[in-house]
Amino acid sequence: DAGVIQSPRHEVTEMGQEVTLRCKPISGHDYLFWYRQTMMRGLELLIYFNNNVPIDDSGMPEDRFSAKMPNASFSTLKIQPSEPRDSAVYFCASRIQYTGNTIYFGEGSWLTVV
C-alpha cells in the first residue's frame, strides 16, 4: 500500500514568493496532520483535519500560512509570502481512527527560502 505522499520533496524559493506544499494521505485515513520540523523548535503540529474539516489550526504560525483539504485524498499547505524563517522540513501525516493513534508520516518537503 502506498504511504503518505508529499510533493515537492525539495523546494528553494525566494523570499516573498508563494509556496504550496501538497499531500496525499493514506487511502482510508480520516485524519490528516501537517507538522513542521526545525532545529530550534523540533517537530511541531501546525494543523490537523478530520474528515476534510480543519479541527485545530492553533499551531499555524501566522496568517501567511494556510491549509486546505478539498477532498479525502488531497491537502495543501500554502505560505504566502514566504520568509527565510519559514525554511524547514514540512511533514504531512495521516491516521485512521481507532488504531491507537498511530500516525504515519510522509517523507517530508524540504523548504529553503532565500
Partner 1 sequence: AQKVTQAQTEISVVEKEDVTLDCVYETRDTTYYLFWYKQPPSGELVFLIRRNSFDEQNEISGRYSWNFQKSTSSFNFTITASQVVDSAVYFCALSEGGGADGLTFGKGTHLIIQP
Of 12 and 55, CB closest to partner 1: 55
Of 12 and 15, CB closest to partner 1: 12
Give the binding site for partner 1 (CB under 8 A).
31, 33, 35, 42-43, 45, 48, 50, 55-56, 89, 91, 93, 95, 100-108, 110
CA neighbours closer than 13 Å in the CB half-sphere of residue 68 = 5
Of 80 and 109, CB closest to partner 1: 109
Secondary structure of residue 20 in the 3-state scheme: strand
- The distance of closest approach from Cβ of residue 89 to partner 1 in the complex, given in angstroms and rounded to an integer, is 7
Of 19 and 46, CB closest to partner 1: 46
104-105 and 42-50 beta bridge pairing? unpaired
Give the integer Cα–Cα distance in Å for 81 and 45. Answer: 20
- The distance of closest approach from Cβ of residue 47 to partner 1 in the complex, given in angstroms and rounded to an integer, is 9
- The distance of closest approach from Cβ of residue 55 to partner 1 in the complex, given in angstroms and rounded to an integer, is 7
19-24 and 10-13 beta bridge pairing? unpaired
31-38 and 42-50 beta bridge pairing? antiparallel
